[in-house]
Amino acid sequence: MTRLFEGLERIEEARESIKGASFMSGLFVGKPDFDLLLPEPESAEEKAAGEEYCQKIEEFLINHVDPDEIERTGISREVLDGLLELGAFGMKIPKEYGGLGFSHKNYGRVLTLIASWSNILSLTVAVPQSIGIAMPIMLYGNDAQKKKYLPLVARKAISAFALTEPTTGSDAANVQTEAVLSADGTYYVINGEKQWCTNSPIADYITLIARVPSHKETVNGKTVWQAAPEGKDAEAKVHSAFILDMKSPGVVVTQRCQFEGCRGIENGFMTYTDVRVPVENLIGELGSGLKYALSILNIGRAVSVPAICLGMAKQAWQPTLDRANSRITFGKPIGTRQTQQMRIGKMAVDLFAIESLCELAWHMADQKHYDVRIEAAITKIICSEKALKFLNDAQIIFGGMGYETADSKRQRGEPAFGMEQLVRDITMYRIGEGATDILRPFVAREGLNTHLENIKGSIDEGMKLDELIKLMRFYIPWYLSQWNKEKIPDRLELQSYKVRTKLEYVERTSRHLARKIFYAMLLRREAMRDDQGRQDRIDIVGEELFTIIATALHAQNINHSYAWQLADEFFRASKKHIQKTLRQLIHNDDENSQEFGIKALKGDYDALNKGIIQRGLNDYIDKKM
């Protein structure tokens, strides 16, 4: 069972156990701590500061930013300089270093606002603060690095994050770029390449993840990695994080990458040839780079990507309603037809769910003693998936006008709303900072954590009698406890009947899920390590339960009938989905579908290629290059 997620071993090694308070960690074992959902409320001063800043940003966007021009030619230097002057690139940097010192909640609000005008601009602003050099330096850097670099990226410089390589996407552990310590120990020599690095063509600095040939030494009784000069006598090549000045000789952005959507983004392919980086530019400890990378990605997952998805969906909401009310087919507005009314109703529920998750995740991320890695992953999954469905539904309502570009419509005097652009762009947010198909097994890993820690290698390697007795001492009381109802905290915020009924359902279902996970482990044993269908279902139930809570708490905060209508409808639909998913956690036909996929990959269905000019992927390589 220790090989449960085969192929992710090095990522698993970099993973730290849940250390802070985690609501979802408790939910997966049938013990959700609802008190964790109600931390100290946001102060009036903090909220006012965010609202005041949003007004400044709104004025700047309206008067100085043309989102259609960004789509055509990219973001102008004038816009970037204006945002730097406003401090938009230093929202989370402490005031002592020239930043605004905003909470995650205020940071999310600003990103949502910018994304409602231009998601590309919002992404450009988010990258330096979520995964650029500011966050790793604030979390793991030393005082000298903070004093030197934080003031720069707060007001003057733009930064980026370089992790992905041609052979390294979600498999973050497979980084090949190397940083070799010089013979005199004063600098590292970096060689390699990175791709899909957002902001790299305009960045002044980047956080670079590279592997350093190293050996282990004992220092003050602790085993640590030490870089091997010129790579000699190295035991391993360990992932480490560096601050890289983009002006360094040997750094070349060879290509500005072009995508289906997000056409205004500055995203590059970079090469490094004998690039010298001073040893003082190492961030934190040698060998901890992968851990740092996975850690800082949590902020993008909890705040940045959800905020951008929320802004994009909100941008399309009113134009979609306007189109449904004004588009006439067969003598009636399409908004009067049941099919479209049902579609719009589902869109309203999903938009409310996205907004609710954002509010809850941002607030939880602001709690310094919380570990929100699971909540962050779930928030990113739900917001990106629901925003994708939301915008696709909006495009259906627009019809042909939703498929035509804004510039094309503008030439006829039609409303130049870029529906097709939003649809193209949103797909990136499903992929970036952890694709859904990668994050779901990640969340499932945490859902299985209690069992993995208890069982360890015994299922794979055979169980001794004393190990069996030890497990029985744990699991018999644990299993019996999964039938005992836990009391909902007697707090004023949870006294409402509408809130309590939903929390009672979540508490009850979390115990049901915990039992189902246990049954699945017993049923599948070692096969569970490759059973992504069941892993996904574990996560999906967790997603639904977390969103039920988020919508209930958000509705209570708003305290308006419309909010409760949407929260109740999400609850109704979610219960049906959870019931079906829990059944399929044990009984499903995944292996049938898998068998067809295996046969297709082996070439058993080659006849499906008949009737066309058949070409494989490699046939599309440009032979002239």
Residues marked active site are found at: 433
Among 477, 580, 459, 458, which Cα is nearest to 523's?
459
Distance CA 347, CA 7 (A): 38
Instruction: Judge whether 188 and 180 are in contact, CB under 8 Å.
Output: yes
Distance CA 571, CA 501 (A): 10
Among 468, 316, 283, which Cα is nearest to 388's?
316
Is the C-alpha dihedral spanning 441, 445, 447, 448 positive or negative?
positive
- Locate 179 and state its tokens: 């940083």
Count other C-beta atoms under 10 Å from residue 453's C-beta.
Answer: 9
Bridge partners for 238 per DSSP: 212
Distance CA 82, CA 78 (A): 6
Distance CA 102, CA 115 (A): 18
Residues in contact with 352: Cβ distance below 8 Å, sequence separation at least 6, in sequence order? 551, 554, 563, 566, 567, 570
Distances (CA, A) of 399 to 48, 252, 415, 613: 41, 44, 14, 32
How far separated are the first and last CA of the chain, in Å rounded? 47
For the CA atoms of 472, 475, 478, 481, the dihedral, rounded to the nearest 10 degrees, stands at -70
Tell me which DSSP letter residue 93 carries: S
Distance CA 337, CA 63 (A): 39
Distance CA 293, CA 316 (A): 33
Distance CA 311, CA 553 (A): 21
- Locate 191 and state its tokens: 């060689």
Bridge partners for 245 per DSSP: 205
Instruction: Judge whether 231 and 211 are in contact, CB under 8 Å.
Output: no
Which helix (H) or strand (E) segment holds residue 507: the answer is helix 497-524
Distance CA 223, CA 213 (A): 16
Instruction: Judge whether 351 and 2 are in contact, CB under 8 Å.
Output: no
Distance CA 201, CA 166 (A): 18
Among 353, 354, 378, which Cα is nearest to 365's?
378
